[in-house]
Amino acid sequence: MDLILPHRADADARAQIDGLGERTLQAFDTRTLAFLTDFSTRLLQDHALRSAPELVALGYWFRPAAVEVLRQRHARLAASGVLRPRGVVFHVAPANVDAVFVYSWFLSLLCGNRNIVRISRRDNAHRATLLQLLADTLAAHPHIAACNAVLAYERDDAISAELSARCGLRVVWGGNETVAHFRRIPLPPLATELVFPDRQSWALLDAASLINADDDTISRLASAFHNDAFWFSQQACSSPRAVVWIGATTQVAQAKNRFWQAVREELARRGETPDASELANRLVAAHRAAAAGDVKPHGSLSDWPLRLDADTFTPELRGGHCGYGLFYEITRAHLGDTRDLFVAADQTVAYFGFERAALTDWVQTLPDRAVDRVVPIGDALRFGDCWDGHDLLMAFSRHVVIA
């Protein structure tokens, strides 16, 4: 077990964890706010991280004005009493996405918790820079540093059990396998658990709106869709993998042509080119899909993005999806005809061409657990303090009733 943050002279992970018990913080503690302001400023000024949009977004997310909005919302949540910390929160971070562990950790910190964060050793592009920046910031905020421990260790149930035994809340990111694994490791009676298993996401487009939109709108839509679908190689749980088109068949055909042409132009504008290894992955995914049921390629198998027409987004299509620019396209005449498409694992629907009121009605027709976010195309990957159906400010707190 290695202590990654904060940097300590003795690098003693256990001493750092033991020390957490002696510290306390209030929700939206002034020391936390000062730390986050410092972190946000350093991150947004870091030239090396400019090229990582997900980290720039992280910097904006914790800038003072945004934190103030969170503070006000936190205050309103405690209408019939007061929100208090849960104590020590143990976060298990996903391996492939750099920024997620910071959101989970800092939101919990804002709620007044002390934190143990397990991160992966897998080397991502900006990992070292981000960790150095966090280390420098923590060094300037000794109380915050003493309230947190970021660790790395190989899969080791004894360590996970020891850390779980110390926490009041365990937060597990990283998919079904990781969730299932941690579920077997006991928690203290008073502790609770928040888990983030595998999810899938959609784009929802209204054909008529797309046909009627002006060219500017379409270019902006293509750019927004690019951010949703092509960042993280289309492998984030919020990345749209299936596209539902709403409209009459001829309208949809026309809308598809216009939309995908704009997406191809956007890819060209950004200088992005197809990759042979990603194509190999798409070919396997497409063949798995075809073996399981009826799909029809739109164009050639070597196309990027690769579009496959399907009737529904079946478990086989979901399970075999590889990312890298593969889209299952489904057509329905009316928004109301889509109920059967959605399942509990569906998380985000990124839309274009619908009114909020219509979407509100529509969401209430879906199966109970299906769909946790309905956001405009372009916002699919934007982290929110309500995630996977949980209000994180609430989940990271206890509601103390004062009557």
Contact residue for other proteins among 30, 250, 277, 364 (CB under 8 A): 277
Kindly state whether residue 401 participates in binding other proteins, applying the rule CB under 8 A: no
CB count in 10 Å sphere of residue 81 = 13
Kindly state whether residue 229 participates in binding other proteins, applying the rule CB under 8 A: no
Q: In the complex, what is the shortest distance from the CB of residue 297 to other proteins, in angstroms, rounded to a whole number?
A: 6
**Which of 234, 243, 231, 233 minimizes the C-alpha distance to 352?**
243
Dist. CA 333–CA 313, nearest whole Å = 17
Count the site residues for other proteins by CB under 8 A. Answer: 50
Q: In the complex, what is the shortest distance from the CB of residue 368 to other proteins, in angstroms, rounded to a whole number?
A: 23
233 φ/ψ sector (left φ>0, alpha ψ -120 to 50, else beta): left
Considering only CA atoms, give the Rg of the chain. Answer: 22
Contact residue for other proteins among 29, 278, 329, 372 (CB under 8 A): 278
64-72, 167-175, 208-216, 366-374 -> range binding other proteins (CB under 8 A): 167-175
Q: CB under 8 Å to 271, separation ≥6 — which residues?
A: none
Kindly state whether residue 248 participates in binding other proteins, applying the rule CB under 8 A: no
Q: In the complex, what is the shortest distance from the CB of residue 49 to other proteins, in angstroms, rounded to a whole number?
A: 17
Contact 225, 377 (CB under 8 A): yes
Contact residue for other proteins among 292, 343, 345, 359 (CB under 8 A): 292
Torsion of CA 43, 44, 49, 50, to 10 degrees: 170
Q: In the complex, what is the shortest distance from the CB of residue 6 to other proteins, in angstroms, rounded to a whole number?
A: 25
User: What length does the chain have?
Assistant: 403
Contact 108, 87 (CB under 8 A): no
Q: In the complex, what is the shortest distance from the CB of residue 18 to other proteins, in angstroms, rounded to a whole number?
A: 28
Would you say the C-alpha torsion 365, 368, 369, 372 has a positive or negative sign? positive
- Provide the mask over 7-46, with x wherever binding to other proteins is found by CB under 8 A and - wherever it is not: ----------------------------------------
**329-368 binders of other proteins (CB under 8 A):** none
Contact residue for other proteins among 23, 33, 126, 232 (CB under 8 A): 232
Dist. CA 90–CA 310, nearest whole Å = 41
Torsion of CA 146, 175, 371, 393, to 10 degrees: -10
Q: In the complex, what is the shortest distance from the CB of residue 328 to other proteins, in angstroms, rounded to a whole number?
A: 12
Kindly state whether residue 328 participates in binding other proteins, applying the rule CB under 8 A: no
Give every strand in the sheet of 200-206, ordered side by side.
296-297, 306-309, 326-332, 240-246, 200-206, 346-352, 373-376
Kindly state whether residue 198 participates in binding other proteins, applying the rule CB under 8 A: yes
Kindly state whether residue 129 participates in binding other proteins, applying the rule CB under 8 A: no
Kindly state whether residue 286 participates in binding other proteins, applying the rule CB under 8 A: yes
Amino acid symbol at 111: C
Contact residue for other proteins among 295, 341, 393, 395 (CB under 8 A): 295
- Give residues in contact with other proteins (CB under 8 A): 94-97, 100, 120, 173-178, 196, 198-199, 232-233, 235-238, 274-281, 283-284, 286-297, 300-302, 320, 322-324
